[in-house]
Amino acid sequence: MIPPIASRFVAGESPATALDHVRQLNDRDVKAILNLLGEHYDDRDDAAADAAEYRRLVDDIAGSDLEACISVKPSQLGLDLGEDVFRSELTDIVDAAAARDVFVWIDMEDHTTTDATLDAFENVAREHEGGVGICVQANLRRTRADVRRLADVPGKVRFVKGAYDPPADVAYTDGERVDREYRDLLEYAFEHYDGGIAVGSHDPAMIEHATALHDRYGTDFEFQLLMGVREDAQEDLAAEYEVWQYVPYGDRWKSYFYRRVTERTDNLRFALRAVLTG
Ligand code: FAD
For residue 139, the SS3 value is: coil
What are the distances in angstroms from CA 269 to CA 6, 185, 248? 12, 32, 20
Which of the residues are catalytic? 107, 158
pLDDT of residue 224: 98
pLDDT of residue 149: 97
For the chain, give the percent of residues with pLDDT over 70.
98
Q: Which atom of ligand 1 is nearest to the CA of 178?
A: 2
What single-letter DSSP state applies at residue 76? G
List the chain domain ranges.
15-277
Q: What is the mean pLDDT of residues 146-171?
A: 97
Q: Which atom of ligand 1 is nearest to the CA of 202?
A: 52
Task: Write the pLDDT tens digit of every residue in 15-48.
Answer: 999 999 999 999 999 999 999 999 999 999 999 9
Q: What is the mean pLDDT of residues 200-204?
A: 98
Whether the CB of 242 sits within 6 Å of ligand 1: no
Q: Please state which CATH number belongs to domain 15-277.
A: 3.20.20.220
- The pLDDT confidence band at residue 171, using thresholds 50, 70 and 90, is very high
**Cα 253 to ligand 1 centroid, rounded to whole Å:** 18
**Cα 224 to ligand 1 centroid, rounded to whole Å:** 10
Whether the CB of 59 sits within 6 Å of ligand 1: no
pLDDT of residue 183: 98
pLDDT of residue 107: 98
Helical segments of 151-264, H only: 175-192, 204-217, 231-238, 254-263
Whether the CB of 113 sits within 6 Å of ligand 1: no
Instruction: State yes or no: pLDDT of 64 exceeds 90.
Output: yes
On whether the CB atoms of residues 159 and 185 are closer than 8 A, the answer is yes
From 120-124, 235-239, 251-255, the region with the lowest mean pLDDT: 251-255
pLDDT of residue 276: 66
Whether the CB of 266 sits within 6 Å of ligand 1: yes
AA letter at 143: T
- The pLDDT confidence band at residue 105, using thresholds 50, 70 and 90, is very high
**Cα 158 to ligand 1 centroid, rounded to whole Å:** 12
Task: Write the pLDDT tens digit of every residue in 245-277.
Answer: 999 999 988 888 888 888 777 777 777 776 666
Q: What is the mean pLDDT of residues 145-174?
A: 97
Please count the other Cβ atoms lying within 10 Å of the Cβ belonging to residue 236.
12
What is the C-alpha to C-alpha distance for residues 44 and 83, in angstroms, rounded to an integer? Answer: 12
Instruction: State yes or no: pLDDT of 1 exceeds 70.
Output: yes
**Cα 25 to ligand 1 centroid, rounded to whole Å:** 20
What is the C-alpha to C-alpha distance for residues 215 and 51, in angstroms, rounded to an integer? Answer: 39
Whether the CB of 244 sits within 6 Å of ligand 1: no
pLDDT of residue 269: 74
Q: Which residues of 237-258 are buried (b: 16+ CB within 10 A; e: fewer)?
A: bbeeebbbbbbbbbebbeebbe
Q: What is the mean pLDDT of residues 70-90?
A: 98
